[in-house]
């Protein structure tokens, strides 16, 4: 690391680049198919190089002003046009954004402002299944909208359409369905939820952030996929992340609206200041043209046939993984995965209740064997699980993965069960997250093995078992404090 934060003199480019490359060595690998979260690897020759060159060609272009940089409008119309052709309906309009979170923020802002202007709603509510992505809660918190959470079906993990319909009120500005949900990878009953919303004049957003660029191609590859996009009556907006199953680099998503009248509420314009007249479709003002250019280039390079073949590889990997997991003693796959996402629980014996400690030992053992599977904690009666995102690059690894899961699980069963110190659990449960002082926070973090900015412990099981046992608000406070200790300046 540079030792002097004041940067008194410049350094040679080669030295700077060497330092960057060295920093990557501690990271999980982003290519090769052993990291089952966060990364999307098409495994296609030349794709990374193309994206990097396309980014470089547009890195200095400012996407803020398409009148000065007309290429930005040409590229954005092409990218949004491709998304509308695949997932839209006649008259649909959209915007290229920096990611799923920004698309969702803008969808909620659109609904809030539309409802204020058309229905006079001043105390807006957002109705969402308990499996809707956390980004909707972030949007609600940022935008002053009250989230109304509806539990999902505990067996299928799909949104409960009748219960969701019953949660709609005169203050509901938007209802959400996922295609599929991130947590369990299952498709919500989009048509039923959208119909209930339409019947009450409420907007309906389909979160196809992860599924939007794989589900239609799975259909083309011969799989059955229920309708979920803007062709479904009542769906008024849809988000799809191109940085997931379209394999663009990170910072690429599209938000589509049913029509221009809705999209208008997404925009922000300000002409009452002495600077240049501002109109921003997105949260960002100045933005690099590079992300848009690389997303466009990747879509052009892969093409429909390419995406169909890639979706087929993911589906085939998913079939093999599901068969292997379902045949493993004590493992239970959650729900009926619709695309490339799989979540499973682990019990001590076949038919037993999910065992969080065992599950987390398994995750730690897998990490030691060079795999990353993503732990998800329990919530509202839904079991803790390990989550895998399959991509074409992981397809060639499924057999090795299943072998190592068997080895790691056998080892995990022999380890001392992890449990929460009852005294600590009691102490922590009595803490008020609102009034916690720095000393109390430091004590709990230290107890969990996360203290003092020392970085993460080698094994996460003890930390996550403690976290799982804490009330939600306290969990959130401790997570914030922990991340604050990671970014310690
Ligand atoms: C990834 C994802 C999001 C959030 O997207 P980011 O790109 O991480 O901001 C929202 N919803 C679903 C279903 C997702 O998978």
Provide CATH code, domain 304-414.
3.90.1150.10
Nearest-atom index, ligand 1, CA of 208: 13
**Cα–Cα dist 394/120, whole Å:** 50
Q: Write the Ramachandran bin of 351: left for phi over 0, alpha for psi from -120 to 50, otherwise beta.
A: left
CA of 269 from ligand 1 middle (Å) equals: 27
The distance from CA 356 to its chain's CA centroid, rounded to whole angstroms, is 23
Supply the pTM of this predicted model: 0.96
Rg (CA), the chain: 23
Q: Are 206 and 228 in contact (CB under 8 A)?
A: yes
Do 55-298 and 304-414 fold alike per CATH?
no
Among 283, 295, 234, 230, smallest CA distance to 110 is for: 283
Judge if the beta carbon of residue 114 lies within 6 A of ligand 1.
Answer: no
DSSP string, 190-249: HHHHHHHHHHTT-EEEEE-TTTTTTHHHHHHTT------STTSTT--EEEEETTSTT-PP
The burial of 13, by beta-carbon neighbours within 10 Å (0-12 exposed, 13-18 middle, 19 or more buried), is given as exposed
SS3 133: coil
Supply φ then ψ for residue 172, to 5 degrees. Answer: -70, 125
Q: Where are the alpha helices (DSSP H) in 33-160?
A: 47-58, 70-87, 100-119, 134-143
CA of 104 from ligand 1 middle (Å) equals: 9
* Digitized pLDDT (tens) for each residue of the chain, 489 residues in all: 555 788 889 999 999 999 999 999 999 999 999 999 999 999 999 999 999 999 999 999 999 999 999 999 999 999 999 999 999 999 999 999 999 999 999 999 999 999 999 999 999 999 999 999 999 999 999 999 999 999 999 999 999 999 999 999 999 999 999 999 999 999 999 999 999 999 999 999 999 999 999 999 999 999 999 999 999 999 999 999 999 999 999 999 999 999 999 999 999 999 999 999 999 999 999 999 999 999 999 999 999 999 999 999 999 999 999 999 999 999 999 999 999 999 999 999 999 999 999 999 999 999 999 999 999 999 999 999 999 999 999 999 999 999 999 999 999 999 999 888 787 777 777 888 888 887 888 877 777 777 655 567 788 898 898 888 888 998 898 888 888 888 888
Q: Are 239 and 107 in contact (CB under 8 A)?
A: yes
**In the structure encoding, which two tokens stand for residue 215, read together?**
């589900």
Judge if the beta carbon of residue 180 lies within 6 A of ligand 1.
Answer: no
Where do the structural domains in the chain lie, given as residue ranges?
Answer: 55-298, 304-414, 422-486
CATH topology of domain 55-298: 3.40.640
CA of 100 from ligand 1 middle (Å) equals: 5
Judge if the beta carbon of residue 133 lies within 6 A of ligand 1.
Answer: yes
**In the structure encoding, which two tokens stand for residue 489, read together?**
């300046």
Atom 3 (ligand 1): residue with closest C-alpha?
100
Distances (CA, A) of 217 to 187, 336, 476, 480: 15, 18, 37, 38
**In the structure encoding, which two tokens stand for residue 355, read together?**
């065992």
Judge if the beta carbon of residue 99 lies within 6 A of ligand 1.
Answer: yes
**In the structure encoding, which two tokens stand for residue 231, read together?**
């062709």
């Amino acid at each position: 690391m540079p030792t002097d934060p004041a940067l008194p003199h410049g350094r040679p480019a080669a030295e700077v680049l060497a330092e960057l490359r060295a920093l990557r060595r501690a990271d999980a690998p982003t290519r090769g198919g052993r990291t089952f979260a966060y990364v999307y690897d098409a495994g296609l020759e030349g794709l990374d190089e193309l994206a990097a060159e396309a980014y470089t060609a547009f890195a200095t272009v400012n996407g803020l002003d398409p009148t000065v940089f007309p290429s930005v409008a040409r590229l954005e119309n092409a990218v949004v046009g491709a998304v509308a052709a695949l997932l839209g309906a006649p008259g649909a309009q959209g915007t290229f954004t920096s990611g799923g979170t920004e698309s969702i923020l803008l969808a909620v802002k659109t609904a809030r402002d539309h409802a204020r202007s058309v229905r006079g709603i001043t105390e807006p509510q957002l109705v969402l299944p308990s499996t809707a992505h956390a980004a909707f809660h972030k949007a609600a918190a940022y935008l002053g909208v009250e989230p109304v959470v509806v539990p999902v079906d505990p067996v299928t993990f799909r949104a409960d359409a009748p219960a969701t319909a019953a949660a709609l009120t005169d203050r509901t500005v938007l209802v959400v369905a996922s295609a599929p949900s991130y947590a369990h990878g299952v498709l919500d009953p989009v048509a039923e939820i959208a119909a209930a919303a339409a019947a009450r004049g409420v907007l309906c957003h389909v979160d196809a952030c992860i599924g939007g660029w794989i589900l239609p191609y799975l259909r083309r590859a011969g799989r059955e996929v229920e309708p979920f996009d803007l062709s479904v009556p009542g769906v008024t907006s849809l988000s799809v992340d191109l940085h997931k199953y379209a394999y663009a680099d990170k910072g690429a998503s599209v938000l589509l609206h049913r029509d221009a009248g809705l999209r208008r509420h997404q925009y922000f314009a300000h002409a009452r200041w002495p600077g240049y007249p501002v109109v921003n479709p997105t949260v960002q003002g100045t933005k690099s043209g590079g992300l848009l250019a690389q997303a466009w280039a990747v879509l052009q390079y892969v093409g429909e046939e390419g995406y169909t073949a890639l979706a087929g590889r993911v589906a085939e990997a998913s079939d093999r993984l599901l068969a292997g997991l379902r045949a493993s003693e004590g493992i239970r796959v959650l729900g009926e995965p619709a695309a490339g996402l799989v979540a499973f629980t682990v019990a001590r014996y076949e038919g037993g209740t999910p065992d969080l400690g065992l599950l987390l030992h398994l995750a730690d053992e897998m990490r030691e064997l060079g795999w990353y599977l993503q732990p998800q904690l329990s919530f509202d009666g839904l079991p803790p699980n390990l989550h895998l995102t399959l991509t074409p690059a992981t397809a060639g690894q499924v057999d090795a993965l299943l072998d190592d899961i068997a080895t790691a699980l056998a080892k995990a069963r022999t380890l001392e069960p992890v449990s929460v110190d009852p005294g600590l659990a009691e102490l922590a449960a009595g803490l008020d997250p609102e009034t916690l002082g720095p000393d109390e926070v430091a004590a709990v973090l230290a107890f969990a093995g996360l203290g003092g900015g020392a970085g993460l412990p080698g094994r996460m099981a003890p930390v996550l078992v403690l976290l799982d046992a804490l009330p939600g608000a306290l969990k959130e406070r401790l997570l914030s404090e922990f991340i604050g200790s990671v970014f310690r300046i």
